[in-house]
């Protein structure tokens, strides 16, 4: 029977044939799409793209990278629900990872490769997120304006001798919330509240700007002491902006709490989205980001501390000296976040 005759006598059969032909071709396209992974990253493109390009080169799996602000990306994943394009979510600070977990947009995974090289305190106990790189939040002080013997702990910064001498970001900054949450875990709510009440009295100015602005403020004479992440300091001292480089060179690092719990540290980390259809490749990407080569890149290029103990810090980070890091499980920062914010509000930390 000719096609023309078939169309006249049984058009439904012809349409069904076309539909079946298209249907049977779908597995081919599905297989091709699985050779990609969609990454939503709160890290700027320059801080993540080179290493995910290396992943693509080694595995043949294409990474579709979308970058943006952490809260905006999380809101996007929440709004997309089951139709989310994201397979992997990368963000900074354990507090933000906890927000993603609490929003029920991540899934728990068990990976021997991740569990073997990432310390327990740098990953979620239930496997919802894993640390990829680590940064410390020490005390920075102006050379010549502060005697390092004046310094000891975060708690000691509430002493009246530091009145009008401290620059720090606002209370809505997740890094400061996590620092306070770590103090809550050790000192308890009453002691931490009293500390915050006294600490605020020592601010040299109303909190404003980012971590780099605190260092610049100190170097320009607005204060003697700044609290900031080491990652920013590394970027400033090696960067091309003369004002930032000059400011960083005027500062020195003091590692607080070396006789007790250690200096507060935090992470950038990743989780796999709950509704991804591409879990296998998503897990491969996260596992790649903790390989020795990837960790070496984080250390040398991003000035962050590796989460692997068998990968050394960069020469620049080594020049700042060894320090004892707080080993609290970073999931505790998540648990204590709400109370930390309340304490800051009651203390008048704007």
**Are 59 and 284 in contact, with CB atoms under 8 Å apart?**
yes
Per-residue pLDDT, 51: 93
Q: How far apart are CA 99 and CA 320, in angstroms?
A: 32
CA 107 → CA 102, 139, 326, distances in Å? 11, 36, 27
**Are 12 and 61 in contact, with CB atoms under 8 Å apart?**
no
Per-residue pLDDT, 24: 36
> Does residue 54 sit in helix, strand or coil?
helix
Per-residue pLDDT, 46: 83
How big is the CA angle at 328 (ends 324 and 331), to the nearest 5 degrees? 140
Supply 180's token pair: 């306070």
Alpha helix stretches (DSSP H) within 49-111: 49-59, 70-80, 94-102
Quickly list DSSP for 272-308: EETT-S-HHHHHHHHHHTTSHHHHHHHHHHS--EESS
Q: What topology does CATH give the domain 136-263+332-347?
A: D-Maltodextrin-Binding Protein; domain 2 (3.40.190)
Beta pairing class for 265-273 and 130-136:
antiparallel
Instruction: Give every CB contact of residue 267 below 8 A, 6+ residues apart in sequence.
Output: 92, 93, 94, 122, 131, 132, 133, 134, 135, 307, 330
Other residues' Cβ atoms within 10 Å of the Cβ of residue 283: 20
Q: How far apart are CA 231 and CA 43, in angstroms?
A: 13
Supply 47's token pair: 């801080």
Per-residue pLDDT, 298: 87
**Are 223 and 216 in contact, with CB atoms under 8 Å apart?**
no
Domains 30-134+267-313 and 136-263+332-347 share a fold: yes
Q: If we measure between CA atoms, which residue out of 215, 220, 227, 259 comes closest to residue 157? A: 227
Q: What topology does CATH give the domain 30-134+267-313?
A: D-Maltodextrin-Binding Protein; domain 2 (3.40.190)
Residue by residue, pLDDT tens for the chain (350 residues) are: 433 334 344 544 444 444 334 433 333 223 334 589 999 999 888 889 999 999 999 999 999 999 999 999 999 999 998 888 999 999 988 989 989 999 999 999 999 999 999 999 999 999 999 999 999 999 999 999 999 999 999 999 999 999 999 999 999 999 999 999 999 999 999 999 999 999 999 999 999 999 999 999 999 999 999 999 999 999 999 999 999 999 999 999 999 999 999 999 999 999 999 999 999 999 999 999 999 999 999 899 889 999 999 999 999 999 999 999 999 999 889 889 999 999 999 999 99
How big is the CA angle at 256 (ends 252 and 259), to the nearest 5 degrees? 135
| pTM, two decimal places | 0.86
Domain ranges of the chain: 30-134+267-313, 136-263+332-347
Instruction: Give every CB contact of residue 27 below 8 A, 6+ residues apart in sequence.
Output: none
């Amino acid at each position: 029977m000719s096609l023309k005759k078939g169309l006249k006598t049984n058009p439904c059969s012809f349409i069904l044939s076309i539909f079946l032909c298209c249907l049977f071709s779908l597995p081919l396209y599905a297989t091709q799409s699985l050779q990609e992974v969609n990454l939503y990253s709160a890290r700027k493109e320059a801080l993540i793209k080179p290493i995910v390009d290396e992943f693509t080169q080694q595995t043949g799996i294409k990474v579709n990278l979308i970058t943006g602000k952490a809260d905006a990306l999380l809101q996007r994943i929440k709004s997309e629900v089951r139709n989310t394009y994201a397979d992997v979510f990368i963000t900074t600070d354990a507090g933000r990872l906890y927000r993603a977990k609490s929003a029920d947009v991540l899934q728990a995974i068990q990976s021997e490769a991740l569990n073997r090289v990432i310390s327990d305190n740098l990953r979620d106990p239930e496997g919802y997120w894993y640390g990829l790189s680590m940064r410390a939040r020490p005390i920075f002080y102006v050379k010549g304006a502060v005697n390092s013997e004046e310094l000891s702990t975060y708690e000691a910064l509430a002493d009246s001798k530091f009145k009008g001498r401290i620059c720090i970001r606002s209370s809505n900054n997740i890094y400061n919330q996590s620092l306070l949450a770590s103090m809550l875990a050790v000192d308890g709510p009453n002691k931490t509240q009293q500390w915050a009440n006294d600490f605020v009295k020592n601010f040299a100015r109303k909190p404003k700007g980012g971590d780099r602005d605190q260092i610049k403020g100190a170097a320009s004479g607005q204060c003697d002491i700044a609290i900031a992440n080491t990652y920013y300091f590394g970027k400033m001292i090696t960067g091309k902006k003369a004002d930032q480089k000059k400011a960083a060179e005027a500062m020195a690092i003091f590692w607080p709490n070396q006789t007790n719990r250690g200096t507060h540290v935090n992470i950038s980390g990743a989780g796999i989205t709950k509704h991804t259809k591409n879990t296998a490749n998503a897990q491969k990407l996260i596992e790649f980001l903790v390989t020795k080569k990837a960790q070496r890149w984080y250390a040398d290029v991003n000035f962050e501390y590796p989460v692997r103990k068998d990968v050394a810090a960069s020469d620049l980070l080594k020049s700042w000296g060894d320090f004892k890091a707080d080993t609290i499980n970073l999931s505790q920062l998540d648990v204590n976040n709400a109370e930390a914010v309340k304490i800051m509000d009651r203390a008048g930390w704007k």
